[in-house]
């Protein structure tokens, strides 16, 4: 979630620069990227409310699992989630064993 906040802030700066340069299409692409990140992460703050660590982890995993299981592997949100999990060293592939369209992700 922290990485998402940082990325949204950085991309908002790029959108602001694009608008200043009258590059409307570029600014809109940046805004859509920020919206995608916000959509992926919108349930996470509530997922971290339970006091028990196991409950927090379970809820957060279920929120992110949706983006990996229910979305097409070529979907930008799914790619964003998978990329960030991989960069943090999380092995998310076991979660997806029942999804053939994701089997190539190893």
Provide the CA 49 distance to its chain's centre, in angstroms.
Answer: 19
Q: Where are the alpha helices (DSSP H) in 1-106?
A: 2-20, 24-41, 44-47, 53-69, 76-87
The domain ranges of the chain are: 1-42, 52-106
Residue range 78-90, pLDDT digits in tens: 788 878 878 888 7
Residue range 92-105, pLDDT digits in tens: 666 655 554 444 44
Cα–Cα dist 74/90, whole Å:
20
Other Cβ atoms less than 10 A from the Cβ of 12: the count is 14
- Tell me, what DSSP letter sits at residue 60? H
């Amino acid at each position: 979630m922290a990485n998402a906040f940082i990325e949204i802030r950085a991309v908002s700066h790029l959108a602001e620069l694009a608008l200043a340069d009258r590059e409307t299409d570029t600014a809109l692409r940046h805004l859509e990227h920020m919206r995608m990140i916000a959509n992926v992460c919108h349930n996470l703050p509530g997922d971290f409310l339970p006091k028990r660590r196991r409950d927090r982890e379970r809820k957060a995993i279920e929120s992110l699992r949706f983006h990996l299981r229910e979305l097409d592997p070529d979907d930008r949100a799914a790619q964003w989630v998978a990329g960030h999990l991989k960069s943090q060293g999380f092995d998310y592939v076991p979660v997806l064993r029942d999804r053939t369209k994701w089997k190539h992700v190893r």
